[in-house]
Amino acid sequence: MTQTHLIAVDWGTSRFRAYRLDAAGAVLERVAAEDGMASVPPGGFAGVLERHCGAWMREAPAAPVLMAGMVGSRNGWAEAAYAVCPASPASVAASLLAVTERVSIVPGVIARGPGGPDVMRGEETLVFGADVADGLVCLPGTHSKWARVEAGAIADFATFMTGESYALYRNQSLLGRLAVEPEDLTGFDDGLEAARAPGGVLNRLFQARARVLDGVMDGPAVGPYLSGLLIGTEIEGALQRFGAADTVTLVADGVLAQRYVAALRSRGIVIEIVTPENAFLAGLSALAEARA
């Protein structure tokens, strides 16, 4: 068996993923399970780690175990205090929280800009692995993150409740009752355009209903309109906050990546894509190296 150099754990609210890496950062073996932080009872974290990674740990007693994500939150294994922006791999590695002799948690990062605080936990590792020295990194999701990277450090960042808002409006609001499957994706472009029109998002949300009542939009376009409107609103807000950008590095895959690519391209932005898994692995390796 090739020598294990690092055991990398991505332990979020709803999922557990672990990787056995060699000295070059290549994946030798991986495990994925539903044992997210939220489903682990107090005191149960060491047992879950042992169940999934115990064999790897015994075979390579010298390899450190580094964990990132919500496992380091108040309701996780142990609370790892936020590292403060500007946060570099070196400053975050210096703040690792050891929960056993060989197992450590990567702290989240807090920004305390003039507009109020913002927090991330797990995404800092993906930003470090996005291979950006200076520029904007976008990580779409339930709570999308945009980070401004300077000299390899997270200088500032902002969170957008885009994915959670989409789910609320799509499933729980008046608009959800108008939406019909299968979807008509032309609605997505209409939503992107609506995000730039005067009136703001609260007005443009209602307009889905008005368009349906006026017969200029059909039910299959409602869900994609909502998606385009919210993603477009996020991008408008991020560019307003961090300034116009020629290039954005997108950490995403699948349908979400496709939608953000379309949204960013419609604003003339050049996109570099990194998958979340690759960003995680590169970021955790960078943190392990910064510590060593």
Binding site for a second copy (CB under 8 A): 110, 112, 115-119, 143, 158-162, 164-165, 168-169, 172-174, 194, 197-203, 205-207, 209-211, 213-214, 216, 230, 233-234, 236-238, 240-241
By beta-carbon proximity to a second copy, the closer residue of 177 and 265 is 177
Q: What is the DSSP letter of 183?
A: P
Q: For strand 16-21 and strand 27-33, is the pairing parallel, antiparallel, or unpaired?
A: antiparallel
By beta-carbon proximity to a second copy, the closer residue of 163 and 276 is 163
Strand arrangement of the beta sheet that strand 27-33 belongs to:
27-33, 16-21, 6-11, 65-68, 103-105, 97-98
Contact in structure between 191 and 225 (CB atoms under 8 Å): yes
Considering the complex, what minimum distance in angstroms separates the CB of residue 213 from a second copy?
5
- Rounded Cα gap, residues 255 and 277, in angstroms: 16
Backbone angles phi, psi at 19, to 5 degrees: -135, 140
Considering the complex, what minimum distance in angstroms separates the CB of residue 65 from a second copy?
26
Residue 33 is which amino acid?
Answer: A
Adjacent-strand bridge partners of 153: 150
By beta-carbon proximity to a second copy, the closer residue of 54 and 200 is 200
Considering the complex, what minimum distance in angstroms separates the CB of residue 218 from a second copy?
14
Considering the complex, what minimum distance in angstroms separates the CB of residue 52 from a second copy?
27
Considering the complex, what minimum distance in angstroms separates the CB of residue 251 from a second copy?
18
By beta-carbon proximity to a second copy, the closer residue of 13 and 91 is 13
Residue 160's closest CA among 69, 110, 230?
230
Contact in structure between 44 and 24 (CB atoms under 8 Å): no
Q: For strand 83-84 and strand 109-113, is the pairing parallel, antiparallel, or unpaired?
A: parallel
Considering the complex, what minimum distance in angstroms separates the CB of residue 115 from a second copy?
5
Contact in structure between 135 and 154 (CB atoms under 8 Å): no
- Rounded Cα gap, residues 263 and 105, in angstroms: 35
By beta-carbon proximity to a second copy, the closer residue of 64 and 228 is 228
